[in-house]
Structure 1
């Protein structure tokens, strides 16, 4: 629950504050769009300041993209009265992929107010000696906040339902819980580049245990008790040092911490229980930019940047405990005028109290993109990796629910991968979109992978964003073992708008 509260607060810090509404229901964005007849009738001719011509252009672009989506998926065009394509979803799936936000803001900026909400689902597991518990949690959140130039003030109401099982020397059975809590939060911009935030809250609910009687082959009487939760969290994120010119030292910081206490009352057959959980996370990301040459433009000239990344995490209390430290270093060279870049990076998880937990990786990469500000034109990349992921280790360390997850599927430096990608973007559909065919080849110790793809994206600048992607992948075993090659096909469509 505490992790969801922290994630929700951090999401609100980065949420757009422009006047408008966003709704996603069951993973599908519900857009507001205007047809040509409505435009001609003068209805809805202004969306985020767009003219009627802009609205019609966006509607036409969206229609083109939807037709392409159906064509790539092999779906014939249907009559207007025909039923749409659908798939069944569980209530849990619908809730976890549903969210909305309604923001009211003046056109000239200033203060804004927002009403937001959504659902989430996650799994949980824990072990203490021979005792083990695992299950799933589903939650729904409704929040509101107020934002000024420097301050963000708000509160969220969160309802969660958990179902799972437990087992141990003392027996096994089912466990269920419900919890409803309210969590105020606040954030302040200490400077133009640095922000601090804090949150706290209380929750009340119930805990139900249904022990299983193995001898009788049926459940024992249900044990039910009241449960409460208290938590507080705080964090900060921003740029500590920024070079005054094109070269110099930069340092970014991201940190947060929380404390949670849960308590259940004593009832007949069940003793009172109390558990505390703490988590501390810190990330430092920095580098020093050396300008190697000048070309007479602000964005020109080759540059060399030694970089470093440091991640620290501590989990304490009655759950998993331990320290984790991840350090990464690298050298990056790039020349915007030529569109060339090269990078060497390495990182490793240096310390953790759990024995045998280690995660290291090194990589080298080369890329060519003569116009990185646009999706159009050629682009090429070549990457060689040994071991685990060579960059972003601090993010992985801080983002895991448990530290031990980093040890999963790690095979040391025996895991090697060479990947090549080539693409070319060109204008289509009246210059409203950019189409990019892509070719990729990846070689590893375990398999060979061949990839063909096609991306279609709307040119930036409109109030809507449309993206379509189609991908086919063939995977062959590295050794001739007689295993049948695997083929995968993926079609993705994403549409976002503001109104």
Structure 2
């Protein structure tokens, strides 16, 4: 069996005796020798101890490897000049031999800067452990030299005294001392300061000291003067920076200094401040300066400046120049200041100067320019979009939703605040009549824009444009015509603390021409207009010109897909001569369109445009995406479409356009059963299929960010015309509207309807009404 000691056991003899059979009484012997496997030794943990000179103490443990036969004494020896031990020997008994005992070691400071490494020897005696030895390696990291430094100081002549800092780089357990003495330079001992010499003491653990010199004041104007305090004879430390300079600043002002306020126009690009000295000086006079924001902002309205201004001997006037920065929208009068400081031997009489930045452009004329640019851009886009529609279709058709919108204004006006203008009611109305090769057409357009500029200007306006045009087509290729337009704009603005109304009118003449090839087409239009523009009391004659052109063509076409390219450019300018207001805007677009001809039932399509907007309104580059899928299954009388369009990204902040709409319809025409569902999202939902707008769709522009329109109708043919029974519901974010009634269409161009209506709103009580409506389309 195993025991705890390390001694071999005595030899034992085993006797074996047999019984039974013919072996009865036979014996044998076996000699057993037991060799002990336990080893003797001293266990140290750890075997390496790392300490810092003069730092925290370290510890290690000592234990025996096996049980002794009697008490064991372990003696510890090492360099006593470098360390201290909390005990010099350890005693282990047969009962406590395996209990580890802890030894604490403290590294002492010395004068050298070298790291030390040595061995602690552990020697055992007694209990069978005689001559057992174990060594512990000890490494001491030297804390480095104790370094002493003195620092410069400056003082006003009238302060009476000055303190110079004297510091050690680290605490030490020894008393540190250093001698000092004052050495004259420009300053004179006994006249400018009291001569001084002495000793600085640092108690153990202290790192900060000071030398105080007494300063003498006089009544003589003079330059700044200096002296030096020199250290020497350091004990228990090394001098790193042995001299400190004292600057005595004269307080006897010989002259006064002041700075003038200034006024400058932003367009000047610079403002210069004049700084005055009351009398010439025989020595250079310097003064520090810096700019500080007022209502003007550094980096936006002016470039921050600071530095040292010097008056040469005999000079009594100097200038500080500050650069002015130009912006496009900030038309206010703004201010910033220049501050003088640290004048030395001069008395600052006026330390702050105010700079007033004025602009040749007033707030109202700036708003007039911004509003005119957006009004002209909006009206020009309305005309160009109307021409696009004209080039795509020359069918005899007329449509107008003004009656439906007027009814909706009465229904929704009280609960939503929707009060449409005449232009909003007539927006989207159009009429066309083909008289052989000559055609006459007209269209109304309504757009509301919100403009902004550099976070200080907000514009909101409604622009209505009425157009009447005539054109003539030669064969199937050429089309030329002339359109007369009148645009009216009414809006509001807010810039800084000012706000008010803005309005404008513009009548123009636009000749246009287009040519259509087999698989390509091109068009061009130019326009000239005159009118009036007004912002509050500021008004003047408005002149506008624009040019626009576009191309489109088929890139490739197969039985499975088609790909076309298109692009257009629009440039418009406006001028209000009475107030020197000139504005320009432009838009360039280019893109690709394609459709996948999967089958006659399903037809997906996509369009991608890149656009660049620039000029006096919102500017930047944008990406437009559009697409959808059309579904048509005549056998089931089923058709549908899902369409999305939008400006998905634009570098102009807050400039976004998007929309998503759909249609699922069973049945077509006006006869039989027709069920339709039309969901839509976004402010630019667009039409899905050509149709006349119903009363359910004529909802306020601000309320239709998300809509679902559902309608069930059944048409019965009459001897002349059709009678339809209709039930429908429109779901808006703010409420619902229901309708139930009958519509009579004796002719395709004539209809009479009677509907009962009910509407609910989250912020208004439920309302009901009766609507009688008749319409004639030509």
TM range (shorter): 0.5 to 0.7
Of 485, 494, 497, the match for 2:775: 494
Unmatched runs of 5 consecutive residues or more in structure 1:
29-89, 106-111, 212-222, 292-301, 396-406
SS in 1 for 2:512: strand
SS in 1 for 2:388: helix
* 1:316-358 per-position Cα deviation (integer Å, ceiling 9, x unaligned): 2211234444435555554322324566666665323355677
Alignment partner, residue 261 of structure 1:
573
SS in 2 for 1:484: strand
How many angstroms does 1:278 deviate by?
1.4
- Contact 1:348 1:393 (8 Å CA) reproduced: no
Alignment partner, residue 2 of structure 1:
380
* 1:207-241 per-position Cα deviation (integer Å, ceiling 9, x unaligned): 55654xxxxxxxxxxx6655432210113467666
Of 410, 427, 438, the match for 1:113: 438
How many angstroms does 1:274 deviate by?
1.8
Alignment partner, residue 433 of structure 1:
721
Alignment partner, residue 513 of structure 2:
186
CA distance in 2, matches of 1:343, 1:139: 30
How many angstroms does 1:204 deviate by?
4.3
In the alignment of these two chains, the number of paired residues is 371
How many angstroms does 1:202 deviate by?
3.0
Cα 1:482–1:131 shift into 2, 3 Å: closer
Name the TM-score, length of structure 2 as normaliser. 0.39
- Contact 1:346 1:390 (8 Å CA) reproduced: no
Tell me, yes or no, if structure 1 residue 353 matches structure 2 residue 353.
no
Cα 1:256–1:467 shift into 2, 3 Å: farther
Cα 1:259–1:441 shift into 2, 3 Å: same
Cα 1:241–1:164 shift into 2, 3 Å: same
Alignment partner, residue 274 of structure 1:
582
Tell me, yes or no, if structure 1 residue 421 matches structure 2 residue 711.
yes
Alignment partner, residue 596 of structure 2:
288
Cα 1:194–1:427 shift into 2, 3 Å: farther
* 1:423-452 per-position Cα deviation (integer Å, ceiling 9, x unaligned): 222202x1x212221233456775455432
CA distance in 2, matches of 1:27, 1:384: 22
Q: After superposition, where does 1:301-340 map in structure 2 within 5 Å?
A: 303-310=601-608, 312-328=610-626, 330=628, 332-340=630-638
Cα 1:456–1:252 shift into 2, 3 Å: farther
Of 648, 653, 674, the match for 1:379: 674
Cα 1:94–1:202 shift into 2, 3 Å: same
CA distance in 1, matches of 2:663, 2:425: 40
Q: After superposition, where does 1:44-63 map in structure 2 within 5 Å?
A: none
SS in 2 for 1:290: coil
Unmatched runs of 5 consecutive residues or more in structure 2:
1-378, 404-420, 690-700
CA distance in 2, matches of 1:306, 1:26: 30
* 1:347-393 per-position Cα deviation (integer Å, ceiling 9, x unaligned): 66532335567777778865432xx4x432222245666x5489759
Q: After superposition, where does 1:189-228 map in structure 2 within 5 Å?
A: 189-191=516-518, 194-205=520-531, 207=533, 211=537, 225-228=540-543
CA distance in 1, matches of 2:472, 2:452: 41
Tell me, yes or no, if structure 1 residue 455 matches structure 2 residue 730.
no
* 1:3-42 per-position Cα deviation (integer Å, ceiling 9, x unaligned): 2432443354356488xxx9999979xxxxxxxxxxxxxx
CA distance in 2, matches of 1:482, 1:164: 27
Tell me, yes or no, if structure 1 residue 474 matches structure 2 residue 758.
yes
CA distance in 2, matches of 1:448, 1:381: 17
CA distance in 2, matches of 1:103, 1:115: 7
- Contact 1:345 1:390 (8 Å CA) reproduced: no
- Contact 2:754 2:773 (8 Å CA) reproduced: yes
Cα 1:119–1:483 shift into 2, 3 Å: closer
* 1:255-300 per-position Cα deviation (integer Å, ceiling 9, x unaligned): 54311111233x5xx4x22211112456755432334xxxxxxxxx
Cα 1:16–1:392 shift into 2, 3 Å: closer
CA distance in 1, matches of 2:444, 2:659: 36
SS in 1 for 2:777: strand
CA distance in 1, matches of 2:472, 2:663: 44
How many angstroms does 1:148 deviate by?
1.0
How many angstroms does 1:171 deviate by?
5.2
CA distance in 2, matches of 1:459, 1:239: 40
SS in 2 for 1:452: strand
CA distance in 2, matches of 1:92, 1:361: 23
Report which structure shows greater RCO (CA 8 Å, sep ≥6). 1
Tell me which moved more, 375-384 or 348-357. Answer: 348-357
CA distance in 2, matches of 1:97, 1:345: 20
CA distance in 2, matches of 1:482, 1:118: 36
Cα 1:304–1:10 shift into 2, 3 Å: closer
Alignment partner, residue 13 of structure 1:
391
CA distance in 1, matches of 2:683, 2:533: 41
- Contact 2:395 2:433 (8 Å CA) reproduced: no
* 1:403-426 per-position Cα deviation (integer Å, ceiling 9, x unaligned): xxxx97697xxx6x6654322222
- Contact 2:643 2:688 (8 Å CA) reproduced: no
- Contact 1:283 1:394 (8 Å CA) reproduced: no
RMSD, matched Cα:
5.0
CA distance in 2, matches of 1:347, 1:486: 35
